[in-house]
Structure 1
Amino acid sequence: MLGIAAIVAIAWAVSENRKVFDWRGVVAGLALQFGLAFLLLRLPGARDVFLALNGLVLALQDATRQGTAFVFGYLGGGPAPFEATQPGNSFVLALQALPLILVISALSALLWHWRILPVVVKAVSAVLERIFAIGGAVGVSAAANIFVGMVEAPLLVRPYFARLTRAEIFMVMTCGMATVAGTVMVLYASFLSQVIPGALGHILTASIISVPAALMVARLMVPGVEKTESDGSIPELEYDSSMDAITRGTEQGVQLLINVTAMLIVLIALVALVNALLGLLPPVFGAELSLQRVFGWIFAPYAWLIGIPAHEAATAGELLGLKTVLNEFIAYLQLAKLPADTLDERSRLILVYALCGFANPGSLGIMIGGLVAMAPQRRGELVQLAGKSVLSGTLATGLTGAVVGILW
Structure 2
Amino acid sequence: MAMLQGLTGLFLIPLLAWLISENRRAFDWRVPVAGLTLQLILALLLLKLSLFQALFIQLNQVLLALQQATEAGTGFVFGYLGGAESPFLASDGGSSFVLAFRALPLVLVISALSALLFYWRILPLVVRFFSWLLQKSLGISGALGLGAAANVFVGMVESPLLIRPYLSKLTRSELFSLMTLGMATIAGTVLVLYASLLEGVIDNPIGHLLTASLISAPAAVMISRLMVPETQPGTAGELLDLQPVNSGMEAIANGTIEGLKLLANIVALLIVLVALVSLLNQMLDLLPDITGEPLSLQRLLGWLMAPLAWVMGIPWSEAITAGSLLGTKTVLNELLAYIDLIRLPADALDERSRLILTYALCGFANFGSLGIMLGGLGSMVPERRSEIVALGMKSIVAGTLATLLTGTVVGLIW
Give TM class, smaller chain: over 0.9
Root mean square deviation, CA, Å = 1.0
Code of the residue aligned with 1:18 in structure 2: it is: R
Q: Does 1:336 align with 2:342?
A: yes
Shift of 1:85: 1.5
2:229 pairs with 193, 218, 223, which one? Answer: 223
Q: Distance in 2 between matches of 1:171 and 1:317?
A: 26
Shift of 1:46: 3.7
Shift of 1:339: 1.7
Q: Is the 8 A contact 1:125 1:143 kept in 2?
A: yes
Q: Distance in 1 between matches of 2:313 and 2:239?
A: 41
Q: Does 1:304 align with 2:310?
A: yes
Shift of 1:45: 4.5
Q: Distance in 2 between matches of 1:148 and 1:22?
A: 30
For 1:144, the equivalent position in structure 2 comes to 150
2:87 pairs with 81, 89, 96, which one? Answer: 81
Point out 4+ residue stretches in structure 1 off by more than 4 angstroms.
Answer: none
* 83-92 vs 10-19, greater mean Cα deviation: 83-92
Q: Is the 8 A contact 1:360 1:390 kept in 2?
A: yes
2:123 pairs with 114, 117, 121, which one? Answer: 117
Q: Distance in 2 between matches of 1:88 and 1:191?
A: 14
Q: Does 1:358 align with 2:329?
A: no
Shift of 1:380: 1.1
Code of the residue aligned with 1:313 in structure 2: it is: A
Q: Distance in 2 between matches of 1:114 and 1:348?
A: 37
Map Cα deviations across residues 41-77 of structure 1 (whole Å, 9 max, x no partner): 0113543433332211111111000000000001111
Q: Distance in 2 between matches of 1:160 and 1:196?
A: 40
Q: Distance in 2 between matches of 1:237 and 1:40?
A: 31
Q: Is the 8 A contact 1:113 1:239 kept in 2?
A: yes
2:178 pairs with 164, 172, 176, which one? Answer: 172
Q: Distance in 2 between matches of 1:225 and 1:364?
A: 26
Provide the TM-score with structure 1 as the length reference: 0.98
Q: Does 1:254 align with 2:260?
A: yes
For 1:265, the equivalent position in structure 2 comes to 271
1:388 pairs with 394, 400, 409, which one? Answer: 394
Q: Distance in 2 between matches of 1:119 and 1:232?
A: 12
Shift of 1:236: 3.4
Provide the TM-score with structure 2 as the length reference: 0.97
**Structure 1: runs of 5 or more not aligned:** none
Q: Distance in 2 between matches of 1:152 and 1:209?
A: 20
Shift of 1:191: 1.1
**Structure 2: runs of 5 or more not aligned:** 1-6
Shift of 1:225: 3.8
2:219 pairs with 213, 227, 235, which one? Answer: 213
Alignment of 1:2-401 (within 5 A): 2-401=8-407
Q: Is the 8 A contact 1:75 1:96 kept in 2?
A: yes
Code of the residue aligned with 1:89 in structure 2: it is: S
Shift of 1:170: 0.3
Shift of 1:229: 3.3
Code of the residue aligned with 2:311 in structure 1: it is: L
Identity %: 59
Shift of 1:231: 3.8
Code of the residue aligned with 2:337 in structure 1: it is: A
Map Cα deviations across residues 320-369 of structure 1 (whole Å, 9 max, x no partner): 00000000000011111112221111100100000000000000110111
* 249-258 vs 82-91, greater mean Cα deviation: 82-91
Map Cα deviations across residues 240-285 of structure 1 (whole Å, 9 max, x no partner): 1100000000000000000000000000000000000000111001
Q: Distance in 2 between matches of 1:350 and 1:138?
A: 28
Q: Distance in 1 between matches of 2:231 and 2:127?
A: 23
Code of the residue aligned with 2:89 in structure 1: it is: E
